[in-house]
Structure 1
Amino acid sequence: MSFRRKTYPEVSEQLLTTLLGGVAGEAHPYPPPGGRGPARYALLAGPAAEITSVYGLAGGVSQAFARGADYALSGDGAALEWKDSARPDPGSVFEVNYLRRGQSPRVNDLYPGSVVRTLLEAVALETAGLYAQMQAVYDAGFIATATGSALDHVVALLGIERIVAGRNSTTLEFRRLPTTRGEIAIVAGTRVLTADGAIEYETLDELILADGQPSGRVAARDLVADNDGVPAGALTLLAKPIAGIEGVSNPAPSSRLDQDETDAELRLRARSFLAGAERGTPGAIVAAIARQGLRGEVSEPGPGRIAVLIHDAAITPQQQARLEFEVDQARPAGVAVEWNYGPAPVPVDLELRLVTAPGLIEADLKRIQAEVRGRVEDYFARLPLKSSGSVAKLTGLALGVAGTEDLSFVAATAGGANVLDMAGGKLNLEGMVTQLGALTLVDNALPTQLHLTVRYPNNAGIPDRATIQTALEQAAAYINTLTTAQPPAAEPLRTLTFGRMARALPLPGLPAATLAEVDAGPGPLPTAADYAPYTVQFAYTRASGLSLVQDSEAAPTLTLAAGERLAVASVNVLVKPKAGP
């Protein structure tokens, strides 16, 4: 339920308009459902001779809009027309007071000091006082606006009590791991214990360690009122590990608080509790949406209402039911949810080149690539909607993986358009709802593996495996010169098709050529039927684990990224199983 306090001038004007036979408090939603607020609003009981006043919310505050500056009566008297000045808050309701044309006043004894005017003003004053009391009652029900004992009652619903003077407090210092990069957030309410776990403190404010900042300090307080104080260096154990934090301690001994917890501190602690419980906050609702593999925006158009915009209008009814159930579980009690569905996010395709330390074994190289891939995916999952991406942060995340020496950006596109701005150090994604699309991560030390299988019947010539492997390795070496050249060859030359690769295979009775000769002499490429009775299958496996199989000209092609290398992993020559009984 939304509430707007009416002040004495507004109440008195509405009463005065009513006594004059006009229309008082005619309500109009702004904007109306389904679109942006129009400049013209038809008056329900028009035409009007005069609009006496307009009241509504602007900037979250109840106020009177200025006649002539903010609004005007249309020439035909049938509508209120908003000007390009102050307008009501979206999602709010404004009220119009006006006198109708040809309406005779019911009372004409309304001059100041008259009996009617005096009674009207007395009623208006008392009514405005009731509105003020209702506003105080309304504010007392929310963490953000309640104060004093009212705030104590609200947070008591969460099992939280205001901390009084006399409890021990100290300052905690959090230290960053030297190998980590990026910003580290330590939320208010983070718990730190003594080594034996007997005494537990919680932080009183949020601490942000900027990229490169080695340590930071924040105030903390004992959770138990009658505990003894702790000496310097006693608080060293994190209740929950924090990624990127090497350790924590209190540089000075604790001391007694000399005043009760303030309203601001109590609100902060209550909000941290809700965030930790993953319920009742916009963050919890966004997390519920993310668990369904979707991206969405959460806004609060007014008290007691939450608007959710899902950036995917093509989800199935089953997905929609699961989504709405999860959000319903995460929303605060008594809060209504308004659902809207929009276009799907724009995929951001990245092509990155990774440089790892020399001498690492294949297992370590794959682990490094998997960790870097995971960090990039997590970065985009957490990237705020309609904000640009940071090249420096992505590079820092990659360099934070042990064994990584460098990360460079080859290409970045969103919806097919180039968004890579190396000079500005960012991905130009402002105003776009995005998600990570294809991530191509190339490490020269970890090539794409090629597995070839050739099958032949018993009545055909036996292919020479050694000759085939030599020809295939020559083809791979030629392809590697195209991908690692500076600049790399054009995309068609880095694209591997069935016909192009099969043309390089020396099979009995069939013509063969090097890939360089194939590329130099354009002509029709062979098909699977041209190699009968032999069958040829190429299987490519990238470091990410993705595989692609080509066994005919209809199979999908593989385009190698700039810097990506190809290595022959195996060549198998097998007899076809005999058909029939």
Structure 2
Amino acid sequence: MPLEKKSYRQIVNAILKRLGETYEQFTYSKAKVRYFLSGKVIEVITVEGISKSAKREFKKDVDYKFSENFIEWLYEGERPDEGTEFTVVYKSQRPEITDTAPGSVARTLIEAISREIEYLNELICQAYDAGFIDTSSGDSLDLVVAILGIRRKPPQPASGYVTFGRRTEPESIQVKGEVILYDGSVSYQLKSKLIKEVVNVKGVTQNVKKNYRKDIDYSLVGRQIRWLPNGEKPDEGTTFTIDYEAYREIVIPKGTKVSTYSSKPEEVKTYITTEEAFLTPVSEGVWEVEVPVISTVPGPLGNVLAGSVTVLPQPLIGIEYVINKNDIGGGLDAETDRELRDRAKHALEIAGKATLPSLETAVKSVEGVSSVLVKDTLDGVPGVVKVIADGGDPDKIRKAIENTRAAGIKVEFSRPRAVYIDVELTLIVGKVVSEVEVSRRVEMLIRSYISSLGIGDDVLFYKIAALALSVQGVIDVSDVVISSYRGGMEVLKSDKENIEISDEEKALARNILISFRRVNRA
């Protein structure tokens, strides 16, 4: 039976009502039918006791009757169990407390006690609700779903790749007399990683000192010296020396910080490299390396478009520029209570397997997955299912699919195609409103809305306008244009219709362009 939450006023009224009531308890015996009430009774309110091992409220004139200050049990009605106690509550002609008007001592005490009872009632209701999946929240919900072996997905930081580079060759260094033992192998690796040019290779062939010839006796492949089949080679067991010119290594250490640019420090987004790397030549005069990075702050705020990361807060020797050539994404908020409830309710479906909901639930359980769409009977071919998942490690997703799919069912896995969304709108504001703050708030709301859309979810035109209007200081919104960009396709613009997203696409916010028009209102 669910608990009933009572308000402060309900508690006060209940206590005031009870002040004029008297309670008397009796032990029931079959040998005794009538029980005398000591007070002068105006009205019997309730008679409660245990009947057939269950708590029961007995009915007047059915189970008992009242006359001449006696409770008399009727032969045909229900009675308390032998030896159990029953309670009679009645209104007395002379209640002990008579002054309960506001401001009286009794009323003041009642109201003070009622406040404490209300607080305790709230705590009890919270504790009760915390035990059920539909009413628990936060840490309590985490404990409830833990019974099913499920835990809340933590927030995920955005990740991607950043390119470090320079447009001139690095400084070269001279390496003289590097000694290598010839043991008959074809190739030998040099100590330096970036070889510019081999100057001289010396050794002993048939007990005669030799200067070996490039492309006749040996060749340079990357950082390896390779002896050619028809050329002269050192005698086995002797050493040969190499003089060469190498490029100085320009290293990007693990943990290097990069960031976006903004005139406001609080809007700067920072990332760190997750592995060490060094520059290598990619074209004439251009040296670059692509390094994986991860946002320092978990959540969707770390998601940025290509070209956004351009700042190296602490300069590195030899690095002339840094830029992300592709989007940095995958940042997600922690799983919400609603999402966790839905996943927990479907958790038992995984045990059944072989169903589309169980497949969807299994993929959703992979850390980092934000949205999943499962399509049955792909292209009209039975036995083929397609899973489209956004976020998460692809190997873990494939493993979850393999562990869940039914025998004989082919499951194809793919990522959703990106549809980039640009939003232009004009905000009508009063003359004293801060454009900077309003613009920041509107942009944040629009980006959050678009990032919350799942695979195949349309971008709703009215929702964009409603979000802008919800910001304090915005009087009206006009000239709203939503543009969608798909690779290799014509740009679609809408000034009143929704942007339709197919079931294999996902909307991604790109540019939010906000202009203002002021009116003579505060």
Given the two structures, how large is their TM-score scaled by the length of structure 1? Answer: 0.25
Larger radius of gyration: 2
Higher strand share: 2
